[in-house]
Amino acid sequence: MAIIAYRFKILSHNGIYLAFVIGIIISLTSGVGWLLILLSFVLAGFLSTRFGIEEKRRRKASEGNNGQRNIKNVFANGLAPLAIAILFWIHQNFFAGQAITRTAVSTAIGQNFYFTAYVGAVAAATSDTLASELGSLDRETRLITNLRKKVKPGSEGGISLIGELSTFIGGLLIGLIAFFLSGQKNILIIAPLAGVLGSHVDSLLGATLETRGVLSNEEVNIISTLFGSISALIMVFV
């Protein structure tokens, strides 16, 4: 992941270092498949940021330098997936061998539990990023807490038609990749919904607590990815 990020200048130098560490840990704890899902988010985020970047600059809604993400972006969007991957490793190595969880069925349930949580977090990050980057190109943006109020494209808490479509597409993208890697059919429904929910939590917090200085953009991203993860798990058991 870090090599690709360096080659195509997807991340800043500091962002690459952190991405390398996160990638190594996820690969060692959960496998390359989990890493590929996170890498899909990184690539989707970069491409969506680069798309229409000149227009975004004109509107002062561009992210970073030529679409690069910095270390704060990497940390905020990678923390939840990283934590879930580590928890999965702990479960597999310290609890899966216990008598109560020794059966193949219970082991499969455990893997499905953490994998779904992981996909939900990445889907939320992807949906929010695509909504922000592509939605900022829409000519009409409204405040999520007051849909009658028009706001500047790229504003915190702003939503648009293009942005709303992008949230679903982002989640679906992650869902498709997760399905091809795992064969878990319900992930095709769970991932898009988790992505949409997580993205809208980000918008709500952005329009309220972030604009008031209570939360930073990175803290909002962490919360929204955690919400995407939790909502994905809820959908499994409902």
- pLDDT one-digit tens code per residue, 142-172: 888 888 888 887 778 888 899 999 999 999 9
Mean pLDDT throughout 46-72? 73
Statement: residue 193 has pLDDT above 50 = yes
94, 35 contact by CB (below 8 A): no
pTM of the model: 0.89
CB 184: neighbour CB atoms within 10 A? 18
Statement: residue 210 has pLDDT above 60 = yes
Reading the block at residue 182, the tokens are 């795992």
pLDDT confidence of residue 98: 57
How far apart CA 102 and CA 99 sit, in angstroms, is 5
Mean pLDDT throughout 4-24? 80
Please state, rounded to an integer, the average pLDDT across all residues of the chain.
Answer: 86
CB 17: neighbour CB atoms within 10 A? 14
How far apart CA 73 and CA 16 sit, in angstroms, is 11
How far apart CA 202 and CA 227 sit, in angstroms, is 9
| 110 confidence band (pLDDT: 50, 70, 90) | low
pLDDT confidence of residue 119: 98
Contacts (Cβ under 8 Å, ≥6 apart) of 86 = 25, 29
18, 71 contact by CB (below 8 A): yes
| Comparison of pLDDT for 70 and 1, the residue scoring more | 70
- Please give the backbone phi and psi of residue 31, each rounded to the nearest 5 degrees, phi first: 110, 165
How far apart CA 202 and CA 207 sit, in angstroms, is 9
- Per-residue model confidence as pLDDT tens digits over 61-97: 655 555 567 889 899 999 999 999 999 999 888 876 5
pLDDT confidence of residue 155: 76
Largest alpha-carbon pair distance within the chain? 62
How far apart CA 30 and CA 14 sit, in angstroms, is 24
Percent of the chain beyond pLDDT 70? Answer: 85
3-state secondary structure of 31: coil
